[in-house]
Amino acid sequence: MEGKKKKSEETRARISQALSDTIKVPLYDKFYDHFVQKVYDGGEVEENNEEKFIQWIENRLKPNLFFLDKEDYLESCIDSLKTVYAVAGTDYGSSRQRDKAQLWSDMTRGYLGEIAVRKKFASDFNIQAKLAHQPGKLADFTGSDLPFVKKAGDKNFRDAKINISIKTTKWNGIWMDVPGSQYDHSDYFVLTKINTGTDHLMAFLKEMGFFETVMKKGIEKKLLSELEKKRVSKQISDFSKLGLFCYVCGIHKKKKNNTKLVYKGKKGRIHYTVTSAEGYLRPGYEEEIKKKEELSDKAKVKFQSIGEFTSVNKFIVNAGRLQFAKKDWQEIASRI
């Protein structure tokens, strides 16, 4: 038993090191839980299979991994700043109002994912693309985040022939959800996973000298001391150490007819966890699953990693069900 445990720990260590080397994030105590485990949770790789994990790194992660720099962040930050007041501040399906600064931060992260997809089309297919970041024009691009493209034979940018919707989540996100009628407006949906952390905007503002200006004024007004200024500045991450990257996780091609929810999961002592799913999440889904899986009235239906979705009437799919092969991308490139 002790030998088996040691072997398992050694396997975990090798897998962690391989992923760490690829995404350029130094190992730390919780690296396996925060990075490796999320790949398993999303159903992208069979758990505890070292050979398949290495294959996933080589065949799926590396071809779709894009490192982002300060210029990328500046573009994303400025574009989101130009459009943030044209976007509703509520989360879809709820009345929760987001602060504009939080919305700015969230939009910046989302735009970084779109920049990564633009990079993929440029590097893999020599297709240039413009993003739908024009202020006041959001309604015009409901279904497409890449509305204008320029292929090798095109003299100028032209309207894209298909609509591509890009959804961005954090690295630990394993679900792509398309709320409301958005599913009807696009032909393809792309999920990107981005490693920004929680203080990416704070780090960028520090890099731009914003906090230096604010705290200098605070010292003048005797609101903080030089020692406090140094302490606060040290607490905010350095932008150069964020290690920004984006994993373009995969593609979902819109289904024209059958969008009924199909799922797999596991039953606990009482509750049921959906580990993989694809289809529309409609009102009453929980009762349907409870009936099909013969669960008790006390049972709850949860979803891997997130527990519950905050709203229904949305299309959901987990990362493991997305398409990612070169031929899948070539299909989009040929049609766009």
pLDDT in tens, 259-287: 899 999 999 999 999 999 999 999 999 99
32 and 13 fall within a common domain? yes
191 and 327 fall within a common domain? yes
**Model confidence, pTM:** 0.91
24 and 46 fall within a common domain? yes
More confidently predicted of 153 and 39? 39
Residue 295: its pLDDT value, please? 94
More confidently predicted of 230 and 255? 230
Record the tokens describing residue 176, joined without a space: 């792509």
152 and 226 fall within a common domain? no
Mean pLDDT of 140-169: 90
Q: Which residues contact 133 (CB under 8 A, 6 or more apart)?
A: 79, 80, 82, 83, 111
215 and 273 fall within a common domain? no
CA distance 327 to 329: 5
- Which residue range is the domain that position 139 belongs to? 66-174+181-198+246-253+321-335
Indicate the residue among 64, 79, 112 that finishes a domain: 64
10 and 59 fall within a common domain? yes
The residue among 151, 161, 92, 160 whose CA lies nearest residue 131 is 160
Contact (Cβ atoms closer than 8 angstroms) between residue 173 and residue 246: no
328 and 194 fall within a common domain? yes
Contact (Cβ atoms closer than 8 angstroms) between residue 114 and residue 148: no
Return the C-alpha torsion angle 156, 79, 249, 201, nearest 10. Answer: 150
Which residue's structure tokens are 């299909």? 331
Record the tokens describing residue 211, joined without a space: 């906090």
Share of the chain above pLDDT 70, in %: 93
Residue 256: its pLDDT value, please? 83
Indicate the residue among 48, 64, 80 that finishes a domain: 64
194 and 137 fall within a common domain? yes
Query: Which tens digit of pLDDT belongs to each residue from 199-211?
Result: 899 999 999 999 9
Q: For residue 178, is pLDDT > 50?
A: yes
Residue 318: its pLDDT value, please? 98
CA distance 68 to 119: 10
Q: For residue 313, is pLDDT > 50?
A: yes
Q: Which residues contact 207 (CB under 8 A, 6 or more apart)?
A: 70, 238, 239, 240
Which residue's structure tokens are 């606060």? 232
186 and 75 fall within a common domain? yes
Residue 139: its pLDDT value, please? 46
CA distance 86 to 204: 23
Query: Which tens digit of pLDDT belongs to each residue from 75-119?
Result: 999 999 998 888 765 554 455 567 899 999 999 999 999 999 999
113 and 156 fall within a common domain? yes
Mean pLDDT of 239-268: 93
CA distance 286 to 300: 8
Q: For residue 141, is pLDDT > 60?
A: no
Indicate the residue among 14, 44, 64 that finishes a domain: 64
Mean pLDDT of 61-83: 96
Residue 253: its pLDDT value, please? 96
Into how many domains does the chain fold? 4
220 and 190 fall within a common domain? no
Share of the chain above pLDDT 90, in %: 79
Mean pLDDT of 17-40: 96
CA distance 297 to 313: 23
Residue 16: its pLDDT value, please? 97
187 and 118 fall within a common domain? yes
Residue 1: its pLDDT value, please? 58
